[in-house]
């Protein structure tokens, strides 16, 4: 078995293959990655060379490696020529997860797989949290948490919750979750998928390849409505649960929606559950209410009662760097949303809170900042960081902007000027790489600066 790419998923795949009795032949263009694999005793083989696939049964590819657009990786093209099937760790997982031991279980384990453009990390983590809160065995893996081949075999009634990116769903040769969740669709990774249609097609494979027993589908975009229609056999088919944030859904089917901060579950034409999401500190804003609806629907298919879900919502603290409350002092709340690296995610953060002291800026992406305008009404003042801080501030018409450049200055000024009831929010609307190695490092710096400012 050849393994291309020796990051987290590639190395875990190689380890699992070796544990299962296969012989992994590993390669990565990065010499340091090859060194780490070699230190673990793996055999290296340069897979792009002539004859590299002789005796190889399958090629396992890491998600970051292009296999079709914008151009196939040379190793993948070589595998095609040799007739060697190309797969990834997600495909291997679904082909191997059910073992003969499952025949001994009274309640077979389940797999919940979550995909979509926005919110899939929070939705996956929330499902995992709700299950654990209810006393159910749950493991979180895939694009979040552990590598999918690093988890333990699920036990009696256990649940595996997978966050799956389009890179992962696009290549997996087996996709057979018990519950499939589609959050939403907005343009992303278009070069990797040859356009929006290819991007949606990659997401849709989670539902079309094997057909989940239950489908939780966000229907706030045409693509979601199309997918829900494709998966259902009529308006009363409760194998499909439609989810929405911002509008009331109607009909005889199964649906979960949030309006004005209230989650409502309807089934067979009547209301069967309701939760006031406005009280949930770890789920602020309409975008998190959509995540809550999707997670609620998923765990309802697994048997959790509405009151149990509500209690689980209350104890959910959110994910690091995603609308994460890091401090409260003097009536001011400090929120780390460093993951808001683009305009779409940043405007959702702005709309989630009231009067905001907004720390923003960084390495600007293509497309400009015009999409931020709907959130400007909530901004008391912007504190702009990054090497391009002055240029970034020019893209915020009508917003009072303080050119701070660095995080320490921005946090100090925002903290000094914030009034009770306001929120100091890091939602950069830009990449971090002009000043930080990652958005995680940027968020950690914000948190540290907040603590220092409050202790001063």
Statement: residue 299 has pLDDT above 80: yes
**Mean pLDDT, the chain, as a whole number?**
95
Q: Is 455 helix (H, G, I), strand (E, B) or coil?
A: helix
Same domain, 329 and 287: no
Residue with the larger pLDDT of the pair 343 and 367? 343
pLDDT of residue 442: 97
State whether 306 and 328 are in the same domain: no
- Clarify whether residues 161 and 278 are in a common domain: yes
Bond into 108 cis (ω within 30): no
User: Are 423 and 284 in a shared domain?
Assistant: no
Residues 237 and 176 in one domain: yes
CA 389, distance to chain mean position in Å, is: 28
The answer as to whether 152 is a domain residue is yes
Q: Are residues 167 and 310 in the same domain?
A: yes
DSSP element (H, E) containing 126 = helix 120-133
In the listed set 54, 87, 120, which residue is the last one of a domain according to the structure? Answer: 87
Q: Are residues 434 and 392 in the same domain?
A: yes
Beta bridge partners of 270: 267
How is the beta sheet containing 59-61 ordered, strand by strand? 43-44, 25-27, 2-4, 59-61, 86-87
295 inside domain: yes
CA 452 to chain centre: 30
Give a yes or no: residue 293 inside a domain. Answer: yes
**247 and 330 part of one domain:** no
117: annotated binding-site residue?
A: yes
- What pLDDT is attached to residue 100? 86
Domain CATH number, residue 156: 3.40.1190.10
Residues 154 and 273 in one domain: yes
pLDDT digits (tens, 9 = 90+) for 430-440: 999 999 999 99
Parent domain of 298 = 92-314
425 and 360 Cβ atoms separated by less than 8 Å: no
What is the distance between the terminal CA atoms of the chain, rounded to a whole angstrom? 57
Would you state the pLDDT for residue 456?
80
pTM for this entry? 0.89
Domain end residue (candidates: 26, 58, 87): 87
Domain-terminating residue out of 53, 87, 121: 87
- Does residue 303 have a known ligand-binding role? no
Residue at token pair 């760097």: 321
Residue 336 annotated in ligand binding: no
- Give yes or no: residues 167 and 287 share one domain: yes
Mean per-residue pLDDT for 163-181?
Answer: 96
SS3 labels along 396-414: CCCCCEEEEECHHHHHHHH
If asked whether residues 152 and 223 sit together in one domain, one would say yes
Residue 386 falls inside a structural domain: yes
Beta strand 423-426 with 332-336 is: parallel
> What is the rounded average pLDDT of the residues 307-328?
94
**Mean pLDDT, rounded, for 81-100:** 95
Res. 90 pLDDT band, cuts 50 70 90: very high
- pLDDT class for 365, splitting at 50, 70, 90? confident
CATH number, domain at 419? Answer: 3.90.190.20
Please determine, for residue 145, whether its predicted confidence score (pLDDT) is greater than 80. no
119 assigned ligand-binding residue: yes
Q: Find the helix or strand (DSSP H, E) in which 291 lies.
A: helix 285-301
Q: Is there a domain that residue 319 lies in? A: no
* Cα(35)–Cα(332) distance, integer angstroms: 48
Question: Is 447 part of any known ligand binding site?
Answer: no
Q: Is residue 237 part of a domain?
A: yes
> pLDDT category, 318, cuts 50, 70, 90?
confident
Q: What are the pLDDT digits (tens) for 260-292?
A: 999 999 999 999 999 999 989 899 988 899 999
Total structural domains within the chain: 3
Summarize pLDDT for 44-68 with one digit per residue, the tens. Answer: 999 999 999 999 999 999 998 999 9
My answer on whether 131 and 216 are in the same domain is yes
Instruction: Report whether 121 belongs to an annotated binding site.
Output: yes
Residue 331 annotated in ligand binding: no
């Amino acid at each position: 078995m050849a393994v291309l790419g020796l990051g987290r998923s590639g190395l875990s795949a190689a380890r699992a293959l070796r544990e299962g009795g296969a012989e992994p032949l590993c390669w990565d263009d990065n010499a340091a990655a090859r060194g780490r694999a070699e230190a673990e005793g793996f055999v290296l083989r340069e897979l792009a060379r002539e004859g590299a696939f002789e005796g190889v049964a399958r090629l396992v590819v890491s998600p970051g490696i292009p296999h079709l657009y914008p151009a196939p990786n040379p190793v993948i093209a070589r595998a095609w020529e040799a007739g060697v099937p190309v797969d990834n760790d997600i495909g291997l997982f679904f082909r191997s997860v059910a073992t003969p031991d499952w025949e001994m279980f009274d309640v077979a384990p389940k797999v919940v797989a979550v995909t979509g453009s926005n919110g899939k990390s929070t939705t996956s983590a929330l499902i995992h949290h709700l299950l654990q809160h209810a006393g159910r065995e749950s493991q979180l893996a895939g694009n979040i948490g552990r590598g999918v081949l690093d988890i333990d075999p699920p036990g009696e009634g256990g649940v595996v919750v997978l966050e799956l990116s389009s890179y992962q769903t696009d290549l997996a040769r087996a996709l057979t979750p018990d519950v499939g969740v589609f959050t939403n669709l907005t343009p992303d990774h278009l070069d990797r998928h040859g356009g929006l249609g290819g991007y949606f097609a990659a997401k849709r494979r989670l539902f079309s390849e094997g057909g989940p027993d239950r489908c939780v589908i966000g229907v706030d975009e045409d693509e979601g409505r199309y997918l829900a229609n494709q998966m259902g056999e009529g308006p009363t088919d409760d194998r499909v649960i439609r989810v929405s944030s911002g509008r009331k859904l109607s009909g005889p089917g199964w649906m979960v929606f949030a309006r004005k901060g209230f989650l409502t579950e309807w089934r067979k034409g009547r209301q069967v559950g309701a939760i006031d999401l406005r009280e949930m500190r770890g789920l602020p804003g309409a975008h998190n209410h959509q995540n809550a609806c999707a997670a609620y629907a998923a765990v309802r298919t697994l048997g959790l009662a509405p009151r149990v879900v509500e209690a689980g919502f209350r104890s959910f603290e959110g994910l690091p760097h995603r609308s994460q409350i890091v401090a409260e002092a003097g009536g001011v709340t400090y929120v780390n949303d460093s993951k808001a690296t683009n305009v779409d995610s940043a405007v959702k953060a702005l709309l989630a809170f009231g009067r905001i002291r907004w720390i923003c800026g960084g390495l600007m992406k293509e497309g400009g900042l015009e999409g931020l305008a709907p959130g400007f009404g909530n901004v008391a003042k912007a504190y702009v960081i990054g090497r391009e801080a002055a240029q970034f501030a020019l893209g915020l018409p009508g917003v009072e902007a303080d050119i701070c450049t660095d995080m320490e200055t921005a946090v100090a000024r925002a903290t000094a000027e914030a009034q009770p009831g306001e929120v100091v929010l890091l939602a950069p609307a830009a990449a971090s790489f002009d000043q930080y190695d990652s958005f995680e490092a940027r968020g950690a710096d914000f948190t540290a600066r907040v603590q220092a400012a409050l202790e001063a």
